[in-house]
Amino acid sequence: MNAPLRAGWTFTPKVPFRPATGLSGPHAQTLFAYLTHSWRSPKLHRERWETHDDDFIDADFVLAPPDVPHLAIFHGLEGSSSSGYILAMLRAAADRGWGAMALNFRSCSGEMNRQLRSYSSGETHDPAFALEKIRKRGITGPLYGIGFSLGANVLLKLLAEQGDDSPLSAAVAVSTPYDLASCARALDADSRWGAFYRSFYLRPLRRKALRKAAQFPGALDILRIRRSSTFRDFDDLVTAPVNGFRDADDYWSRCSSGPMLEKIRRRTLLISAKDDPIARVDGVLDGLQNPHITALVTEQGGHVGFVSGSILRPRFWSEEVTMQFLEEQQAAATPA
């Protein structure tokens, strides 16, 4: 399914998504995209911003004139501004003469942050702070938000919280975990692939948590963190208490973007795949009535995959569609 699931306005991708030959499965899509994205980076300028709570966040910029469009890009779980899909968006901005900011969530820029908490699927204060800093730089052109996976959930939650006051002109969310509890269940599944994804994400999270435990003696249970083997364990032990939630269920319930979508007041494109092995979309968008949102839900594509073309010459459909959508937004806003 490549036509809009529902729409209060019209957007149609120039090319429908067709998985590259040999990459029709969700895991093939997910892993091939992760492994084959170009790591070529445009020229970037890094800034470190001190936060209100004596911490810092690092942001990497593609510099451009203040009156051209700018992108604000948010990465996924344990990603950074050097993730392949983020670099692709930074290159896309640079190629068009646009500006861009890739925000590194706390602890993700290559240096551990100072405070006990770092980031989560529902932490929107730092992204809001980053958008404010962009505007204070004198940027007058349209500001477009792009989020991937965890960063997509953060972006949508922020849009819902800010409503009519959002500084963003439009946004795109790719492979969003709309229901964090469902996402955790998928990662904690008793299967070979569940174990693979769980290990891939939990290992670095546990390492960071143990560093935090050493940094803040007594704040976290080191032995239980070492023994944690599921996302429910980890979120109960670390993510929820560090971020002020009662437990994992409370965290997942209050930070899932799905129930908040009706509050968004900026034109927003949602891109998801029905076969996403991590961020399930089944039923989440049913009955959505927000005229500001259009959802593209493909039958295949995996998680932040959407690899089309061929194995030798892959094309990353969701990224091409993202830029097509934003270019159309810019064209519509430009006086004739």
Average pLDDT over residues 301-312: 97
Judging by beta carbons within 10 Å of its beta carbon (0-12, 13-18, 19+), is residue 250 exposed, middle or buried?
A: middle
Of 33, 260, 246, 49, which is closest to residue 158 (Cα–Cα)?
260
* pLDDT on residue 334: 78
CATH topology of domain 1-179+257-336: Rossmann fold (3.40.50)
Is 249 part of the annotated catalytic residue set? Answer: no
222: pLDDT strictly greater than 80:
yes
Helix axes 26-36, 84-95, angle to 10 degrees: 60
Answer yes or no: 55 catalytic: no
pLDDT category, 151, cuts 50, 70, 90? very high
Model pLDDT, residue 93 = 98
Give the active site residue among 149, 175, 228, 318. Answer: 149
- Tens digits of per-residue pLDDT, 156-187? 999 999 999 999 999 999 999 999 999 999 99
Give me the half-sphere count of Cα atoms (radius 13 Å) on the Cβ side of residue 153. Answer: 27
What is the rounded distance in angstroms from the CA atom of residue 89 to the CA atom of residue 76?
14
pLDDT tens for each residue of 113-148 = 999 999 999 999 999 999 999 999 899 999 999 999
Arithmetic mean of pLDDT, 291-303: 96
pLDDT (0 to 100) of residue 7: 45
- Annotate 114-149 with DSSP letters as a single string: SSS----TT--HHHHHHHHHHHHTT--S-EEEEEET
pLDDT at 60: 98
pLDDT-derived band of residue 1, with 50, 70 and 90 as boundaries? very low
**Catalytic-role residue among 275, 276, 308, 318:** 276
Q: What is the pLDDT at residue 287?
A: 87
Angle at 10 between CA 134 and CA 272, to 5 degrees: 70
pTM, full prediction: 0.96
Task: Give the residue ranges of DSSP H helices in the chain.
Answer: 26-36, 84-95, 125-136, 150-162, 180-187, 192-215, 222-227, 231-234, 240-242, 248-255, 317-333
Q: According to the model, what pLDDT value does residue 282 have?
A: 87
Task: Please provide the average confidence, as pLDDT, over all residues in the chain.
Answer: 95
The pLDDT tens digits of the residues spanning 2-60 come to 444 444 567 999 999 999 999 999 999 999 999 999 999 999 999 999 999 999 999 99
Residues of the chain with CATH 3.40.50.1820: 1-179+257-336
Which strand (E) or helix (H) includes residue 70? strand 70-74
Q: What is the mean pLDDT of residues 97-122?
A: 97
Name the active-site residue from 228, 303, 308, 318.
303
**181 close to 157: Cβ distance less than 8 angstroms:** no
Confidence band, pLDDT 50/70/90 cuts, at residue 242: very high
**Res 186: pLDDT:** 96
Nearest 5°: the CA angle 287, 288, 289 is 105
Q: Is residue 80 annotated as a catalytic residue, yes or no?
A: no
Average pLDDT score over residue span 190-201: 96
